[in-house]
A and B are shown apart, each in its own frame.
Chain A
Amino acid sequence: MTCIIFFNAPCLLLCVSQFERSMKVVEKKIEVPPCDKCGNLTGSMFCSLDKTEIGQLSSHKSFNLYKKGQVVFYEGNQPQGLYCIYSGKVKIHKLGDDGKEQIVRLAKTGNVIGYRALLSMDNYYATATALENTLICFFPKLVYLDLLMKNPEFSMKTIKILSGDLKTAEQMVTNMAQKHVRERMAEALLLLKEFFGLEEDKATINTVLTREDIGSIAGTTTETSIRVLSDFNKSKIIKLVGKKIKILNNRELSKIANVTE
């Protein structure tokens, strides 16, 4: 009996590794359409480009699958190009002096990340990590910078995106400084709801984030994040279903978040 197991074990291992290898092949076979046929084009920053420019962009692109938790780029590295999310979700976070992370931005399908470091010719100011399995197209930096110089409409679009970013960052720093943890947590939930949307039941937020992630959006510790969420759960404002969060009382949540706009 033991003998059989002994002989079977390596065989099993071999099977598993073969299976894994075949999985990888499947992953590699995922195709991304050329940019002009991409469904995300109209909503992305590239919408103002004409056909030849998009063709140029498309011919230089490559794409990769990032698994959940895999890092797309690291804070402090030199940027080589631009990342455009084809599907999936990415968090952009910075490390504080004490080594704790703070999420500064979230990105979803159709968003472009890593452009700021390219524009300021600086190193990456933050780290990007995939929140789920994410397909990302990559454009070399020269192609992007070339387009930026040639097409004024495109650079206008970029400025628009930057000024939007600036405003969100300003809003965030104001909230951080003036609001209490409870208010910030409620606001973080509302932000997630607005950003990722709801599932078909129109109540569950369409993303799976750890308590730690939600805490680092609101700028607090994991412990406090858990405590506040379960408090919301108890007072029936939200319902925790595993890692998913269902919003039961939207009005109450906005009231706690103190959203005036």
Chain B
Amino acid sequence: MNTQNASVNIQLKTPNCNQCWLKDFSVFKDCPKEILDEMFVHKQSRQFKKNEMLVRENDSFQGVFCIHEGVVKVSTSRNKNKEFILWFARPGDIIGIDSFVTSENYSFNALAIEPVSACFITASDFNELISNDPVVSRKLMKDMCEKINFIEDRITSISRKKIREQFAEMLISMSMQNKNAVLGNLPINCSVKDLASIMGTTKNYLDKILSDFNRKKVVSMHNKKIVIKDFDKLSLIAIGDEPLN
């Protein structure tokens, strides 16, 4: 799997959007060929190393990034400089649409947690693309709606659930997103510190919960990676219906 991926990546260092293997997952799915060809001329391909910033909060808005490879952590530090992770962008996702129309500044930090290659589309190009093509704008709207729904779900679960329940829910949803996952062996590629700032809690507290989960054989740790052992039990914890033993 990995070697296959690697060879594809070498071929498509600066991929034509029409041939990009991510086209079907992204906003540009049904976009006409000619428009994409035109965009390809304007866009820039950029490479980022691990822990490099793509976007800094409060920088002036330049354009949007379409992730081609790697995972990007999108977070905000509006409150007292405490970090809070909003979501993880994966290949095919677009970063920056939330700041695209309403304001001049980015409202979030984007940090590469793996080596990332991304296509940069300037604000004016993207604007033109959306305003000229109703198909793209419809797809974009749909994506945005999904994102808002995702965040509003999180508002509800954050305000109403215990950290323990939220953590279980988070582990499940992260393992679902992992495309290579096989049930029963679900490694979660994320540090405990990051998990803590997804839920707005501290690392120490999560470590405590993790060791409790570990003792109950719900999850186990393998070289700093969390592996889900008992999926059913974890889902019971997530809905607050934990068996007492």
Q: Is the Cβ of B158 less than 8 Å from the Cβ of A173?
A: yes
Take A102-B155, A152-B131, A166-B98 as given contacts and tell me if A219 and B145 are in contact as well, using a CB distance cutoff of 8 Å.
no
Q: Is the interface of A mostly helix, strand, loop or mixed?
A: helix
Q: Is the Cβ of A219 less than 8 Å from the Cβ of B159?
A: yes
Take A125-B152, A156-B130, A173-B154 as given contacts and tell me if A167 and B102 are in contact as well, using a CB distance cutoff of 8 Å.
yes
- Name the segment of A28-36, A131-139, A157-165, A242-250 touching the other chain: A157-165
Distance to closest chain B CB from A203 (angstroms): 27
Count B-side interface residues using an 8 Å CB cutoff.
Answer: 47
Q: Is the interface of B mostly helix, strand, loop or mixed?
A: helix
Identity of the chain A residue whose Cβ is nearest the Cβ of B98 in the assembled complex: A166
Q: Is the Cβ of B138 less than 8 Å from the Cβ of A149?
A: yes
A129 within 8 A of B: no
B137 within 8 A of A: yes
User: Residue B157 contacts which of A97, A125, A126, A178 (CB distance < 8 angstroms)?
Assistant: A97
Q: Is the Cβ of A158 less than 8 Å from the Cβ of B161?
A: no
Q: Is the Cβ of B130 less than 8 Å from the Cβ of A219?
A: no
Interface residues on A, range: 35 or more
Q: Is the Cβ of B102 less than 8 Å from the Cβ of A102?
A: no
User: Which residues of the other chain, A, contact B159 by a CB distance below 8 angstroms?
Assistant: 96, 102, 176, 219-220
Take A102-B159, A178-B84 as given contacts and tell me if A159 and B240 are in contact as well, using a CB distance cutoff of 8 Å.
no
Identity of the chain B residue whose Cβ is nearest the Cβ of A104 in the assembled complex: B152
Q: Is the Cβ of A96 less than 8 Å from the Cβ of B151?
A: no
Which A residues contact B (CB, under 8 angstroms)? 94-98, 100, 102, 104, 116-117, 119-122, 125-126, 148-150, 152-153, 155-156, 158-160, 162-167, 169-179, 219-220, 258, 260-261
Closest 8 CB pairs of A and B: A177-B200, A219-B159, A96-B160, A120-B145, A169-B151, A160-B101, A102-B156, A162-B144
16 contacts between A and B (CB under 8 A): A95-B156, A102-B156, A119-B142, A120-B142, A148-B138, A149-B138, A152-B137, A155-B134, A158-B141, A160-B101, A160-B102, A163-B101, A166-B148, A167-B102, A178-B200, A220-B159
